[in-house]
Structure 1
């Protein structure tokens, strides 16, 4: 699907192309009811029975849409080295439940568009709180079950997310930059010394092995895809917070957010050069070696969400329409999530309509693209939720040759709210 007109001409649509545009531009969608319906569906679980949720941002690039409001500069990776760039677009934050094993399937549960005035970490915390609350209301988690595992990449402030979601039965694990400096636990008071107790221990510079103490646990695992994986973990490491940036509005003493630091080294990564070590931070302290292995394996499953984004854009046509308003883009995004959910629920009914050069897929192992290929045969046996089309004619539109006397307004790109950078500036004190 390249354009909305192509979708309107499909036999399943049963409406004119004008009705599709009007519905997306002026229609309505009960998003909260849809979210509750997604949370009530069966969810995939990890090998130990816990729910693993991944959160990530995917941009809808609109570089040439000067009349579209609420666009931000979205980070886009280039094909060459240091070829990344920032392109205007609408960034969307997705939350999906991950499956176990090597698969391209995820269960998308929520999507939120980030606006120019939004704090990304605060919006993500509110989004995750809503998803977890709906899962609890649907009965997917009960007292005594394992905590829900939330997986995030390096673009998130995972320690702040852990602080904001500390009252929920969740555990966060996320990648952190390799140039970070964390703090060890504060040492106990020595006999015969006076003064205030220290809050932080020595520095743990991720880029300087001389500052690393002996790891608490070290495990070695043989994998078929990455070769030998070695994980070393240190307990009760925390960042030293200051009254700047996200913590500027925090009243009183800043908290100490302790967790488990994990260093993951793998032997190889398919399709890339020499693998670099991966640093992970978990909000759980006192993790055993088995749980440390479970954390880094769950983090590697996070990349399944990248396959979902690729399916959205290349197969389902998520970013194909050229909407002007972000509200219409939100409605279309939820329709794409509904289509993906239908494919996921109907994958056991689809036949393997493979092309001559494709390998046969095992039973129950069809990819989302192959299920979508055979979905037309499944749809003919299902009920149609839409009513019969009503006869109608398109409007006359603007007369040929006339000028547009009401041009659409132009909108700037980027953030619209700036905050003071220091606590002294917020309190009106001289620097």
Structure 2
């Protein structure tokens, strides 16, 4: 490796280390467990399927009990984390403007009857030409797309040039949908069966911090492509490709999480004792039809007499 190439990698590595240190400072309770959980999301082999499987990743040095305790009882300074995420260099449009995209995606929890604050979320195509409302937690995401195909454009006039820009913006609106797909299918955002909305928000902020680290690590990542994938330059690597090499980048960056202390699991509920504190239910009901249902007439089983003559 040449000295020029080594110097070019020092600045992105320093930016990644600064963000990781600031991210650790935003974790005010169960900070070590939450920080290593985010590293497990970034270093896991393949898509994240469950929280318990993340405890088996070598970068996560705690057990599955500590992992669930960090998600359930950890604390995140959201205001400080928002400032840390906003301080990450954001992509600009071709003319230097900062273009922000806002969209809503839902964490569907139709069977979580003990989870509060669920509302009916509008879904598309979950039946045969049907848009069925499903209980869940909606989230509003703000992002700054890159220039080119991932940028957005807005216009209100009806000139031919504006119509062309609106058509291009309509085609580019699916870029943020790819981000939602990465969150849900690769980083495992909606995979955990979390009961409380506070824990769901905590897990969501961890996913956003992990995604910011992927963006900062893109200049440092090698293209570990599959045999059927085309080569891509470093500045055009997808987040999924950067994630494949994050395990090799992590040892070079700052890791402020401390080693776990030896402990023993608790005794748990004694055998044979029933649960005396059942969790309250929070059912979400759909609005029924307001018009009175027509009475159903019972079909006669007596056959009609045959006409004669």
TM over 0.5, shorter chain: yes
Aligned match for 2:82, one of 24, 35, 60: 35
Given that 1:77 and 1:85 are in contact with CA atoms closer than 8 Å, whether structure 2 keeps it comes out as yes
| Per-residue CA distance 1:22-64 (angstroms, 9 max, x = gap) | 1111111000001111111111111111111111111111111
Aligned match for 2:195, one of 324, 327, 330: 324
Alignment of 1:330-345 (within 5 A): 330-345=201-216
Given that 1:312 and 1:318 are in contact with CA atoms closer than 8 Å, whether structure 2 keeps it comes out as yes
| Per-residue CA distance 1:86-119 (angstroms, 9 max, x = gap) | 111111111111111235xx9xxxxxxxxxxxxx
Change (3 A) 1:290 1:48: farther
Distance in 2 (alpha carbons) for counterparts of 1:343 and 1:14? 21
Q: CA deviation at 1:362?
A: 3.1
TM score, norm. by length of structure 1: 0.52
Alignment of 1:15-34 (within 5 A): 15-34=62-81
Q: CA deviation at 1:386?
A: 0.8
CA RMSD of aligned residues (A): 2.3
Given that 2:126 and 2:132 are in contact with CA atoms closer than 8 Å, whether structure 1 keeps it comes out as no
Equivalent residue number for residue 304 of structure 1: 175
Unaligned segments of structure 2, at least 5 residues: 1-47, 287-309
Given that 2:119 and 2:137 are in contact with CA atoms closer than 8 Å, whether structure 1 keeps it comes out as yes
Alignment of 1:31-180 (within 5 A): 31-78=78-125, 82-102=129-149
Distance in 1 (alpha carbons) for counterparts of 2:54 and 2:127? 35
Alignment of 1:138-287 (within 5 A): 260-262=156-158
Q: CA deviation at 1:394?
A: 1.8
Change (3 A) 1:35 1:310: same
Distance in 1 (alpha carbons) for counterparts of 2:259 and 2:222? 29
**SS of equivalent residue, structure 1 residue 58:** strand
Q: CA deviation at 1:20?
A: 1.5
Distance in 2 (alpha carbons) for counterparts of 1:344 and 1:363? 11
Change (3 A) 1:89 1:80: closer
Given that 2:124 and 2:132 are in contact with CA atoms closer than 8 Å, whether structure 1 keeps it comes out as yes
**SS of equivalent residue, structure 1 residue 37:** helix
**Larger proportion of strand:** 1
Change (3 A) 1:385 1:298: farther
**SS of equivalent residue, structure 1 residue 380:** helix
Distance in 2 (alpha carbons) for counterparts of 1:98 and 1:293? 19
Equivalent residue number for residue 409 of structure 1: 280
Distance in 2 (alpha carbons) for counterparts of 1:29 and 1:88? 26
Given that 1:24 and 1:328 are in contact with CA atoms closer than 8 Å, whether structure 2 keeps it comes out as yes
Q: CA deviation at 1:364?
A: 2.1
Distance in 1 (alpha carbons) for counterparts of 2:58 and 2:170? 42
Given that 1:24 and 1:332 are in contact with CA atoms closer than 8 Å, whether structure 2 keeps it comes out as yes
Q: CA deviation at 1:352?
A: 1.1
Distance in 2 (alpha carbons) for counterparts of 1:291 and 1:86? 34
Aligned match for 2:246, one of 372, 375, 378: 375
**SS of equivalent residue, structure 1 residue 364:** helix
How many pairs were matched up?
239
Aligned match for 2:218, one of 321, 330, 347: 347
Is 1:356 aligned to 2:200, yes or no?
Answer: no
Distance in 2 (alpha carbons) for counterparts of 1:3 and 1:409? 25
Change (3 A) 1:51 1:41: same
Distance in 2 (alpha carbons) for counterparts of 1:301 and 1:100? 11
Aligned match for 1:400, one of 271, 295, 300: 271
Q: CA deviation at 1:261?
A: 4.2
